[in-house]
């Protein structure tokens, strides 16, 4: 049984005295990363993640960091691998298709435990499967955080680097066009949960100064602990890939995910105590769902609200609680039904689960469409709200 932590309503609370700015979400996230110590960034222009690159191109040189506009996303993710391996906090932001391109290295960075931060400012919310099931191979999962506001994007930047190094595990931040381009007042201060001391970085390959050499690898190769001074030991019986236990990184990843899920699951909830139906959504879309729930309450419908902040680890327990009380869940997302599958897994058939979302994009296919609207969501809530007479 894991401890599911509560998060603040997206957009609430600025740390008193902290520096503030009025920034669009993509810029806010970028500045949050800088404040968290990120000093290496790669990007490739692609709507709607382009602005993160633009911000970093201006800002990174100011703090003595490196920003590279790469010639391909695949190059970028591997540069981030190299820089992270050198001990420097590194990040890349891309979009949807670009994320697909990077999947091989993303998968291997999980297996190799390369704690980088990867951002998908996506088109719509149709990359939920890609983020959480993984468009990649092997048993990998990243830690996936879905901020719902510019402030939460700032907090998520600090948190992503912290969690990545705490667990030595890459972290994926999943946003979208609206998050990236909506401007809000934000303040910059590390969230309290990111202030715990981090483990020493004993895996960094930055030149074997006064120590035995290290090998940063995803293939399960391992240098023997008892190598004599100056002589790295064998990889395994037979050397080379023979004798290498290539399944060990996969099994380690699965075990680590259980540990992560036990303590890092985070969710925002409201009005659950007397709820007759729950509406759930993720990301900035959650704010529309929450507002619709508030309007529904004003009409006398007892609607509760759940917004997963960590998509991995997913707050199955929260939905299990709801399901165990027989409360139906309506899932609103900007896709053809992806998070709804995880909701069903959480509810485990004990209550109805309604998918009330749809793909809603603007004409360009990059942004959000007219259905991402609180009144529309309210209408969908009315359609599925249980009509039996409540006691």
> Which residue ranges make up the site for other proteins (CB under 8 A)?
39-40, 42, 66, 68, 70-72, 74-76, 78-88, 90, 104-105, 108, 112, 205-210, 213-219, 221, 223, 228, 230-235, 238-242
Residue 86 vs 369, nearer CB to other proteins: 86
- Least Å from the CB of residue 214 to other proteins: 5
Least Å distance, CB 30 to other proteins, is 18
- List own/partner pairs for 78-86 with CB under 8 A and 24 or more apart: 78/105, 79/40, 79/42, 80/40, 80/42, 80/116, 80/118, 81/105, 81/109, 81/114, 81/116, 83/40, 84/40, 84/114, 84/115, 84/116, 85/114, 85/204, 85/205, 85/216, 86/204, 86/205, 86/206
CB 42 to other proteins: min, Å? 8
| Residue 40 vs 288, nearer CB to other proteins | 40
- For residues 82, 83, 85, 91, the Cα torsion angle rounded to the nearest 10 degrees is -100
Specify the residue, 54 or 234, whose C-beta has the smaller distance to other proteins: 234
Whole-number minimum distance, CB 163 to other proteins, in Å?
Answer: 21
Q: Cα(165)–Cα(173) distance, rounded to whole angstroms?
A: 15
> Which three-class secondary structure state does DSSP give residue 312?
strand
CA distances from 277 to 6, 142, 186, 303 (A): 20, 31, 33, 5
In whole angstroms, what is the distance from residue 337 CA to residue 342 CA? 10
- In the bound state with other proteins, the residue whose beta carbon lies nearer, of 65 and 175, is 65
Nearest CB to other proteins, comparing residues 199 and 207? 207
Distance of CA 71 to the CA centre of its chain: 25
Shortest Cβ distance from residue 82 to other proteins (Å)?
3
CB 81 → other proteins: shortest distance, Å?
A: 5
Question: Which CB sits closer to other proteins, 241 or 325?
Answer: 241
The 3-class SS string of 126-193 reads CCHHHHHHHCCCCCCCCEEECCCCHHHHHHHHHHHHHHHHHHCCCEEEEEEHHHHHCEEEEECCCCHH
- Complex with other proteins: residue 45 or 326, whichever CB lies closer: 45
Burial class (CB in 10 A: 0-12, 13-18, 19+), 247: exposed
Whether the Cβ atoms of residue 105 and residue 114 lie closer than 8 Å to each other = no
Least distance in angstroms from the C-beta of 66 to other proteins: 5
Smallest distance, other proteins to C-beta of residue 381, A: 46
Cβ atoms within 10 Å, residue 353: 23
Shortest Cβ distance from residue 39 to other proteins (Å)?
A: 7
Q: Which is nearer to other proteins, 110 or 343 (CB)?
A: 110
Q: Are 165 and 171 in contact (CB under 8 A)?
A: no
DSSP single-letter state for residue 23: E
Residue closer to other proteins (CB basis): 8 or 234: 234
Q: Which is nearer to other proteins, 49 or 84 (CB)?
A: 84
334, 348, 324: which is closest to 275 by C-alpha?
Answer: 324
Closest approach of other proteins to the CB of residue 60, in Å: 11
């Amino acid at each position: 049984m894991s401890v599911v932590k509560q998060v603040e309503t997206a957009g609430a609370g600025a740390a008193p005295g902290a520096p503030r700015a009025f920034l669009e979400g993509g810029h806010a996230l970028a500045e949050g990363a800088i404040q968290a110590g990120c000093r290496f960034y790669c990007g490739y222009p692609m709507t709607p993640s382009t602005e993160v690159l633009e911000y970093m191109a201006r800002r990174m040189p100011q703090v003595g960091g490196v920003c590279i506009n790469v010639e391909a996303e695949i190059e970028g993710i591997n540069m981030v691998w190299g820089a992270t391996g050198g001990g420097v906090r590194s990040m890349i932001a891309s979009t949807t298709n670009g994320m697909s391109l990077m999947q091989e290295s993303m998968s291997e960075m999980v297996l190799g435990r390369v704690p980088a931060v990867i951002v998908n400012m996506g088109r719509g919310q149709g990359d939920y499967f890609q983020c959480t099931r993984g468009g990649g191979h092997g048993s990998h999962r990243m830690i996936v955080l879905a901020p719902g506001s510019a402030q939460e994007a700032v907090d998520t930047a600090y948190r992503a680097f912290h969690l990545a190094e705490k667990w030595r595990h890459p972290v994926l931040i999943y946003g979208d066009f609206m998050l990236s381009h909506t401007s809000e007042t934000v303040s910059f201060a590390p969230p309290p949960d990111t202030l715990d001391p981090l483990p020493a970085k004993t895996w960094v390959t930055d030149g074997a100064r006064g120590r035995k050499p290290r090998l940063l690898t995803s293939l399960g190769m391992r240098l023997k602990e008892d190598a004599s001074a100056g002589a790295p030991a064998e990889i395994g019986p037979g050397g080379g890939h023979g004798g290498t236990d290539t399944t060990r990184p996969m099994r380690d990843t699965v075990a680590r995910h259980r540990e992560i899920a036990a303590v890092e699951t985070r969710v925002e909830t409201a009005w659950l105590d007397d709820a007759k139906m729950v509406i759930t959504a993720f990301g900035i879309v959650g704010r529309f769902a929450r507002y619709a729930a508030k309007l529904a309450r004003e009409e006398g419908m007892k609607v509760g609200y759940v917004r997963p902040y960590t998509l991995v680890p997913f707050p199955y327990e929260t939905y299990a609680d709801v399901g165990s009380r027989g409360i139906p869940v309506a899932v609103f997302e900007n896709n053809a039904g992806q998070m709804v599958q995880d909701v069903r897994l959480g509810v485990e058939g004990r209550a109805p689960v309604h998918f009330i979302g749809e793909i809603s994009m603007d004409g360009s296919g990059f942004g959000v469409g007219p259905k991402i609207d609180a009144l529309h969501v309210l209408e969908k809530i009315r359609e599925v709200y249980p009509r039996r007479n409540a006691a």
